Structure 1
Amino acid sequence: MATVALTYFGLLATLLQVVIALWPRTASHNTTIMATLIIVSTLGGVLHSFPKASVTQDFNPPAFSIKIVQGDILDQQGNIVIGFTDTYDTDLTDGAVINPKSIQGQFQNKYYANNSDALDDDLTHALSTISPVSHENSSAKPRGKLARYEIGTVAALRSENRIFYAAAYGRIENNLKVSCSIDALWKSLTAVWESARIHGSLEPVFIPIIGSELARVGSLGREAIIKMIALSFVSSSREAIVSRELNIVILPKDREHVNIIELRRFLKTL
């Protein structure tokens, strides 16, 4: 900030000298002018160094970019990653199985009008070639679905001109608590990128800070999860291009928990 402020000061001081040369009478107001120069220069430095709400980093080869943006993940125009549990539960009743306030819950409300049957039909179709790895007993898990899919399973749901990557990243226990390990998240991210390679036609992918809410990923905070998402995407992209653009979307309420300057530095190291 200090360097930028000094640059502003030097430019303004040069301009002042030109003004005095043309209009000598202004020299009588040196004190006021000098104070104004200092204030304007300082403000310029502060504004210049203030972190922007978004970050973009380009990579090559292959040619792709990662953007960290602020907004609502469900308002984005493109293919979107939605986190699901390993049972692909969709029951929003009383919020016991799936919380209506979660991104999945909001997704069901916005794109399926809370019609769980319609979503279940789409999930069944998308998962038709994938076999569950186990089945729970209804006495042990009285609420929700019983078939469990492998962590990292991705159901590609097509809706008009976009794809929703329904990624099973968290395990829902029989008591309906959801958990996700760091290994499980990495595995799920890798599977999402592979699904995007197959179905996404290199179109932009949007992903929230997956695992930062109800399914806490170990002890990772939001910033660490963003770094993990970016690292995973870059690693997969260098094996084979996934998409020309990854957008990591931060909810406005999470902005205070994220250091944009640090994330910009991190992206430059990848």
Structure 2
Amino acid sequence: MSRFGVLRDIKRPRFWQAFATHAFSCIGLIAILFGLYDVLEPNAISKLNFPSLLPMLLVAITYAAIRSYPRPVSQNYSKPSTEIRIVEGDLFSQQSNLVIGMTTTFDTQIPHVIHPRSIQGQLLERVYSNDLAALDGDLAQGLTQHTPVGHIQKPGKTVRYAAGTVVTIQQHRKHYFCVAYGEMDAANQAHSTMDGIWCSLESLWREVRARANGDPVAIPVVGGGLARLSQILPAQDSIRFIAMSFMFASRQTRVCDRLDIVVRPEDVERLDMLELQAFLKSLQDS
């Protein structure tokens, strides 16, 4: 976590709530110890003045600061044995398997259909070295296992598959889980719904469970950009959405060792990391 991220998080009310809780709990413990000491040495406590008590106050403040200090957001779970982390950085720099959000037509052509800076555009550039034919060939091979559900007249690809269709590509010892959660219209504008994204995530976890061999998986924040849902599913809510879906699926049958939700640096400033840590903790099996 960057210095600026820490400064941002300590301004949040949740930080000061946690700080006050830990400080008062420490002061309470010190008071109990003083009470026990007073039983052994009657009237000794009453002789203490403020300078004598100042070190105890500093201990309480230090303890509260250490316990409340913002840390990288992660949560381990025992049932099932897995972990969720929120990672700031570049999706394609992660060492784990990657989730690539796509549309139901699995369009790949840039720049007129797919934006070069989109996840699909980066997949083409950074994994396939802009070899469009190779990427389309791998997608076409994977799609032979799925039945089209229709066609759409538009520039680019016109064959539509069901939302939630997942094509798994293996490149450079990584799995790339290409999941369709957005629909293209006739003008090549992508859109989706929360129900569609939830169903697509369920399909994704089934594929990860079957193909990843338990290895960690990294997923970008979904719901903005491609899916046109950023106003009703902003990054903070999208992360909760992904984490909840993953944990629901994991409780049925374990999905993988770890899920990394990767947040772009420019989006981090809008997130309340302390709230997200509290949310991840709340997903522990009670």
Partner of 1:184: 196
Structure 2 gap segments, 5+ residues each: 1-18, 31-49
CA contact (8 A) 2:88 2:262 kept: yes
Rounded Cα–Cα distance in structure 2 between residues aligned with 1:2 and 1:265: 16
Partner of 2:117: 101
User: Counterparts in 2 of 1:131-150, with a 5 A limit?
Assistant: 131-137=147-153, 141=154, 143-150=155-162
Q: CA 1:127–1:2 in structure 2 vs 1: closer, same or farther (change >3 Å)? A: same
Q: CA deviation at 1:125?
A: 0.9
CA RMSD of aligned residues (A): 2.4
| Aligned counterpart in structure 1 of residue 252 of structure 2, from 239, 246, 249 | 239
Partner of 1:259: 272
Q: Which digits, 9 at most, give the CA deviation of each residue in 1:121-159, with x for residues without a partner?
A: 00011111111100123xxx1x11010010100000011
Partner of 1:119: 135
1:67 aligned partner, one-letter code:
R
Alignment partner of 1:78 is 2:96: yes
Q: CA deviation at 1:44?
A: 7.7
Q: Compute the TM-score of the two structures, normalised by the length of structure 2.
A: 0.77
Partner of 1:16: none
Rounded Cα–Cα distance in structure 2 between residues aligned with 1:101 and 1:233: 26
Q: Compute the TM-score of the two structures, normalised by the length of structure 1.
A: 0.81
Partner of 2:14: none
User: Counterparts in 2 of 1:147-162, with a 5 A limit?
Assistant: 147-162=159-174
Alignment partner of 1:227 is 2:243: no
Q: CA deviation at 1:67?
A: 1.1
1:253 aligned partner, one-letter code:
E
Q: CA 1:214–1:39 in structure 2 vs 1: closer, same or farther (change >3 Å)? A: farther
Q: CA 1:205–1:41 in structure 2 vs 1: closer, same or farther (change >3 Å)? A: same
Alignment partner of 1:51 is 2:63: no
Q: CA 1:239–1:4 in structure 2 vs 1: closer, same or farther (change >3 Å)? A: closer
CA contact (8 A) 2:106 2:180 kept: yes
Partner of 1:61: 79
Rounded Cα–Cα distance in structure 1 between residues aligned with 2:95 and 2:78: 24
Rounded Cα–Cα distance in structure 1 between residues aligned with 2:112 and 2:269: 29
CA contact (8 A) 2:107 2:114 kept: yes
Rounded Cα–Cα distance in structure 1 between residues aligned with 2:194 and 2:237: 11
Q: Which digits, 9 at most, give the CA deviation of each residue in 1:80-112, with x for residues without a partner?
A: 0000111000110xx231000112111211001
Rounded Cα–Cα distance in structure 1 between residues aligned with 2:273 and 2:257: 22
Rounded Cα–Cα distance in structure 2 between residues aligned with 1:43 and 1:242: 40
Report % sequence identity.
37
Q: CA deviation at 1:40?
A: 10
Structure 1 gap segments, 5+ residues each: 12-29
Stretches of 4+ aligned residues off by more than 6 angstroms: 36-44
CA contact (8 A) 2:107 2:156 kept: yes
